[in-house]
Amino acid sequence: MFFALTDEQQAFASTVTEFLADRFDLEAVRGVVEDPDGDGHPLTLWKGLADQGALAVLVPEEHDGLGLGLVDAQVVARALGAGVAPGPWLATVLAAEAVRIAGSAEQQSRWLPALAAGETVGIVALRGEGGAWDGSGITVDANSAEGESTSRLNGSASPVDYPAVAGLIVVAATDASGTPGLYLVEAGASGLTVRDQRTYDGTARVGAVEFADTPAEPLANGDAAAVRALLARGAVLNAADLVGVAREALTRTVAYDRDRNQFGVPVGSFQALKHALADLHVAVTMAEHAVLFAAHALDTDDEGAAIAVAVAGSKAADAAWNATGAMIQFFGGIGFTWEHEAHFFYKRARRRAPLFGSAAEHREALFVATAL
Amino acid sequence: MDLTYTAEEEQFRQELRTWLAENIPTEWTVPGYWATLSDTESFEKRREWEARKTAAGFSGIQWPVEYGGRGGTPAMKAIYDEETVRAHAPQTVNVLGLTFLAPTIMAIGTEKQKAEIIGPMLRNEVIWCQGFSEPGAGSDLAAVATRGVLDGDEYVVNGQKIWTTNAMHGDKIFTIVRTEAGSEKHKGLSMLLIDMDQPGVEARPLKQMSGASEFGEVFFTDARVKAEDCLGEIGQGWRTAMLLLSFERGASGVGQYTEFRRQYDEIVAEAKRFGRADDPVARQELARCLVELECLRYHAMHILTQVEQGRDLGSESSMTKLQWSEAFQDLWEAFEHVLGPEATLAAPRPDVDLSPFHAQDHWSRSVTIWGGSSQVQRNIVAERVLGLPR
């Protein structure tokens, strides 16, 4: 029995955390937050992550990747969440996962090395406005003319992370028979439109992607199962980011409440705060366990993986939601100001919580998977 | 991450599973079976069964062989907890002795205590009670007032203990007594091992809100105990008590998960029976409970890993207690919310008996109180884990 990170995995986490502390701290994050017209994709950060192998973690070694698993990838996601780091890391990792899972050998050779090196930014467009995150919420149609290898996409996907800087878009679309599949669209393709949707989370850039007879290349094995596999991986890595946000929000709040004096004593000595923070510590710890377990379940094709993903998705979303709300409350008035960093954590948690399935959607999936 | 057990551990699982299959009567697996027996009948049946289990080599899983144990690994203890729950084995009748007293004696007991106490306890020949709480000393355990006065080579003990599990069946009781007159708080206490079969000790049952009487009160009126029957040194009772309570960390979340998950599935089955499983609000509440139970399972694997690595869990045990006790209580709240008026009826239909559910439901109110209340646990997590000021 070994339910923990290995020494190597802990070292990997430290490398990313220390890199962010040295090279992309909260002042740098603030620079991105306060420049909403910028692309939200600082190249110093991107290159640094690429140098550390953070983009190559899931890519097989034969395609210049590290050939590691989701347990390793969630280490990076947690560190980026804790640092409220901007950039299309998750989007690019998921695009590479799509190509790894469903691409032909030729598609893999063409895209994986570039995605692993950070030379190409990849993104995923898996759901349409108002839709569910289970493959049923796709609002893009794919049509293939007789004898042609290229399909034509029509429709839209929203919200999509970092569409403006993407070189490669992995699109979930349904074909004429209603079957979901995965398609590759390259930047600059005809009929491709990106509209910035101006998210309140300044640590990301989000847009709607529209397709009008846009040429797309089907991923060779991009069937409904591949769409579900990609959504599950997205759910776990997004949950890992949320867990990182939650832990850091809690740690910062505890540190502040140890020192902040009112009524002549540290406010952290009051049980009203202590008990709330203790409950949050338990909740965040359980969410960390759940993400780790779900990542391992997917890595090992465990038969209970769908249940594990639902548990992790709901627990992490709730933990991040609650920890970042508490951060503002327990910093008091200063935590409500623009100058303070609490709103970076709060907004990131709330933007990400519904992605790849909200807490409630994950609970419904969990109930269905176990009871019906 | 490696969530598998070794071949030797899986071999142990198979042996235990086979023995349990051959030694658990079918009627025991019917929900609510034990509630159909009187308290004494239930106790004697369990006592006898457990003695057979010990003879077969399936007790004291992690204890050293020299104490009659199996000399197994922490993982084997987790497997034992999981398999016994799965097979509907009854709970041990000697839980406080086996969980707390035995490891404390192995750690700091005299040779005489080791030789005389552990074997009979393991064979259920001697049932042990715990004499800690008093009417005036609950969460504030150091406020104990039961006093012991030295008279020759014996202490004469007067006072009252309460919430004593198995009080009516106990043979002996490990008791925190104030042996230094005029001492206060943590000082001047001793852990005395008192024979309950004497005129100066009277046990009375305490009927709980569920109607059962798992607890009792124990009254000491000039009860006598030899000064040598003290665990740890005289006057060092607080230290002994803290060491003793630290062994709760061995409590296995794996077994608890298995038990609570079965209860969750039973509640879902009732929700379906009464047409409540299609309600999205009910489904959300049930799924919330399952999320917490699954987290308990993951946490148990994490704790087992820490134990196998030889790490001191310290105050992390308070987090474990909070997670399992609150999740268990929430599960039974969900039972009430989801089933609505039917939840309150023992016989909502002629062929449906919900009284075993009511027993668990009402029991669930106790688990956030005993063994350190949730409020005490939150203080511990806040102060010793998060480092918030006292």
Query: How confident is the model over B301-357, as pLDDT tens digits?
Result: 999 999 999 888 888 889 999 999 999 999 999 999 999 999 999 999 999 999 999
- Can you point out the beta strands (E) in chain A? 122-125, 140-144, 151-161, 168-174, 180-186, 192-196, 206-218, 261-262, 265-266
Contact: B287, A363; criterion CB under 8 Å: yes
- pLDDT for B249: 61
The answer to whether A4 faces chain B, any CB pair under 8 Å, is yes
Provide the pairing of β-strand B230-231 with B201-206. Answer: unpaired
The residues that bridge with A184 in the sheet, in sequence order, are A170, A217
Domain end, chosen from A101, A117, A133, is at: A117
**What CATH number corresponds to the domain at position B47?**
1.10.540
**What CATH number corresponds to the domain at position A144?**
2.40.110.10
Contact: A1, B3; criterion CB under 8 Å: yes
Q: Is residue B240 part of a domain?
A: no
Verify that B309 and B184 share a domain, yes or no: no
The answer to whether A268 faces chain B, any CB pair under 8 Å, is yes
A110: closest CA of chain B, how far (Å): 32
Which regions in chain B score pLDDT beneath 70?
A: 249-251
- pLDDT for B39: 83
Domain end, chosen from A91, A117, A143, is at: A117
Distance CA A156, CA A168 (A): 16
Domain count, chain B: 3
pTM: 0.96
Verify that B151 and B259 share a domain, yes or no: no
Domain end, chosen from A117, A150, A167, is at: A117
Domain end, chosen from B234, B265, B288, is at: B234
The domain in which residue A338 lies consists of 225-371
Query: Count of CB contacts below 8 A, A vs B?
Result: 139
A369: closest chain B residue by CA: B287
The answer to whether A369 faces chain B, any CB pair under 8 Å, is no
Distance CA A170, CA A148 (A): 19
B155 neighbors B178 (Cβ within 8 angstroms):
no
Which regions in chain A score pLDDT beneath 50?
A: none
Verify that A277 and A184 share a domain, yes or no: no
Verify that A191 and A327 share a domain, yes or no: no
Q: Is residue A57 part of a domain?
A: yes
Verify that B41 and B145 share a domain, yes or no: no
Domain count, chain A: 3
Nearest CB to A4; choose among B287, B295, B302:
B302
Verify that A97 and A219 share a domain, yes or no: no
- pLDDT for B250: 54
The domain in which residue B290 lies consists of 251-385
Q: Is residue B114 part of a domain?
A: no
Contact: A3, B305; criterion CB under 8 Å: yes
- pLDDT for B247: 83
Verify that A229 and A366 share a domain, yes or no: yes
- pLDDT for B253: 87
A275: closest CA of chain B, how far (Å): 5
Helix (H) or strand (E) holding A181: strand A180-186
pLDDT in tens, A319-369: 999 999 999 999 999 999 999 999 999 999 999 999 999 999 999 999 999
Q: Is residue A197 part of a domain?
A: yes
Domain end, chosen from B171, B203, B234, is at: B234
Verify that B208 and B306 share a domain, yes or no: no
Partners of residue B381 in chain A, C-beta under 8 Å: 278, 281-282
Give me the residue label for tokens 């550390």. Answer: A52
Length in residues, chain A: 372
The answer to whether A358 faces chain B, any CB pair under 8 Å, is no
Verify that A254 and A329 share a domain, yes or no: yes
Q: Is residue A255 part of a domain?
A: yes
A304: closest CA of chain B, how far (Å): 11
Provide the pairing of β-strand B189-195 with B172-178. Answer: antiparallel
Q: Comparing C-alpha atoms, which of B240, B139, B137 is closest to residue B147? A: B137
Give me A151's structure tokens: 């399909």
Nearest CB to B1; choose among A71, A266, A366:
A71
A 227-256: CB under 8 A from B:
254
Verify that A254 and A359 share a domain, yes or no: yes
- pLDDT for B323: 96
Domain end, chosen from B72, B93, B114, is at: B93
Verify that A229 and A364 share a domain, yes or no: yes
- pLDDT for B40: 87
B266: closest chain A residue by CA: A371
Helix (H) or strand (E) holding A307: helix A305-331
Three-state DSSP state, B50:
helix
A144: closest CA of chain B, how far (Å): 40
Residue B26's contacts (CB-CB under 8 Å, 6 or more residues apart) are: none
Verify that B376 and B256 share a domain, yes or no: yes
Give me A253's structure tokens: 């709040």
The residues that bridge with A180 in the sheet, in sequence order, are A174
Contact: B5, A1; criterion CB under 8 Å: yes
Q: Which residues of B are catalytic?
A: 248
**What CATH number corresponds to the domain at position A100?**
1.10.540.10
Verify that A210 and A302 share a domain, yes or no: no
**What CATH number corresponds to the domain at position B322?**
1.20.140.10
Contact: B284, A360; criterion CB under 8 Å: yes
- pLDDT for B281: 98
Verify that B170 and B280 share a domain, yes or no: no
The answer to whether A262 faces chain B, any CB pair under 8 Å, is no
Partners of residue A279 in chain B, C-beta under 8 Å: 322, 378
The answer to whether A272 faces chain B, any CB pair under 8 Å, is no
A209: closest CA of chain B, how far (Å): 32
Verify that A110 and A178 share a domain, yes or no: no
Contact: B283, A363; criterion CB under 8 Å: yes
pLDDT in tens, A163-175: 999 999 999 999 9
User: Complex ipTM, two decimals?
Assistant: 0.97
B337 neighbors B286 (Cβ within 8 angstroms):
no
